[in-house]
Amino acid sequence: MINPVKHIVIVGGGTAGWLTAGVVAAHHQSRMPGGFSVTLIESPNVPIIGVGEGTWPTLRTTLSRMGVSETDFFRECDAAFKQGARFNRWTTGAANDGYYHPLMLPQSFGQVNLVPHWMAGESARSFCDAVTPQGSICDDGLAPKTIATAEYDAIANYAYHLDAGKFAPFLQRHCCTKLGVRHVLADVERVNMAENGDIASVTTTQAGDIEGDLFIDCTGFKALLIGEAMGVPFKQCSDILFCDTAIAMQVPYDSPDSPIASHTISTAQSAGWIWDIGVPTRRGTGHVYSSSHISHDEAERELRAYIGPAADGLNARKIPIRSGHRETFWKGNCVAVGLAAGFLEPLEASAIVLIELSAKIIAERMPACREVMDVVASRFNATTLYRWGRIIDFLKLHYVLTQRTDSDFWRDNVRPDSIPDRLQELLLLWRYHSPWFHDEFDRAEEVFPAASYQYVLYGMGFRTEVEIEALARDDALAEQAMRENARQTERLRAGLPRHRDLIDKIVAHGLQPV
């Protein structure tokens, strides 16, 4: 090979930089003795944004493949379990308006679509409760496993809530001590371009010039490499997703043994929504809102009113949101990951999973040489662009299904000109055929399965014409699946521990290593 790709340089730390470093280094451990290297350059003067605390179940596989101990992760990252999200007041705005998007698939999902059977039954149970135990588990404040369950194994599917400010240093220690990642604390002064338009090196204040074969931009919103040096434009989607600001506050518990919710709570407001995430030492809360529909002061008042007296004396942190993504994610020998690639409001915790998915492709399809890099980049860009588009669709789905008309924000969100064409087509299709895994969700690049669409659609009162043929064909199988779900719900409610109790046991005694 004329120009082998052996030296990977990641510019920027934080969750994006260190997760990418860990995924790439772990995948290429066998190549390290032959000169393959991963170098991460991190400024000692740039703070971590550290707001996003929600993850997807994919993080379990990612951490396991990196060789991270789940017990250590819980002990050092103030971690808790996440079993999905509850959306309050999104449909009608009433006090009792709420539904779950759980992480477990509906019962027998690969064999039968339970939507038409649930609708035909006109059951008093919510769709979630009819097809999965996870909503009931969350209602009861239970954990998704027991202390006897091995690391990363699950009884009920789960992800994590975590302290992002502790997560990045935890990953850094693991990457440097266990995976051979070289850590350079230095400020990048200049990006040096080669004649062919690639990045040849970066010049740093403290460590001089650092050369590489592939540069990964994890510099956050600054996008030092992909934006400033490579000139890749940013494509906004503020015409679809209106929220452009967040206010974050950390709320202490009333007592050290206060219950910890094992799901994210998202509560709709007059011009946005409030997140509420529990970790062992505190609750992370924040108001995501549209500055075109509400003032900052009024948005902060809504957040403080939601929190109640515990908000007295707490500082609020304002964070701008620029919704959108790069037009191209991999150009030349530079690929953007994390906030450098783009950002969307954290309604479904998509930020960290996009980092994982990008890092996984980079690691698994690492170009052998520069000559083949453009082919790899083209495929990476197609896959990544598709994923961003589907996440935008899915986030918008939460808004377009609303029945709220109490503010301009909610009325504007259902305007047809704000709804992507693909989503409009699917909404029309779903009036007659409910989404299922083998229909429009058959691509390997799907980030949200058909089950996720089912939970949101039917949680928010969407109606699909009952499919008579499906009822007749699958009636016995559907009845059996719903009975099994009821039995499983009772077993899990009786056998799973309280969420905080399990976390306390993990910290004290540890989980069984895999």
* Catalytic residue set: 82
C-alpha 58/C-alpha 361 separation (Å) is 14
C-alpha 85/C-alpha 54 separation (Å) is 10
Cβ(374)–Cβ(334) under 8 Å? no
Comparing C-alpha atoms, which of 474, 454, 477, 472 is closest to residue 464?
Answer: 454
- Dihedral angle sign, alpha carbons of residues 495, 501, 504, 509: negative
C-alpha 377/C-alpha 215 separation (Å) is 13
DSSP element (H, E) containing 486 = helix 468-495
Residue where the block lists tokens 């703070």: 47
Q: What is the 3-state secondary structure (H, E, C) of 437-472?
A: CCCCCCCCCCCCCHHHHHHHHHHCCCCCCCCHHHHH
Residue 374: Cβ within 10 Å count: 14
C-alpha 424/C-alpha 407 separation (Å) is 23
| Helix (H/G/I), strand (E/B), else coil: 489 | helix
Residue 64: Cβ within 10 Å count: 15
- Dihedral angle sign, alpha carbons of residues 301, 302, 303, 309: positive
Where are the extended beta strands (E) located within 159-281? 159-161, 182-185, 188-193, 199-204, 208-211, 214-217, 234-236, 245-251, 264-268, 272-279
Encode 295-333: b = buried (16+ Cβ within 10 Å), e = exposed. Answer: eeeebbebbbebbeeebeeeebeeeebebbbbebbbbbb
C-alpha 30/C-alpha 37 separation (Å) is 11
What does the DSSP 8-state code read for residue 142? B
- Dihedral angle sign, alpha carbons of residues 21, 372, 196, 37: positive
Residue 365: Cβ within 10 Å count: 15
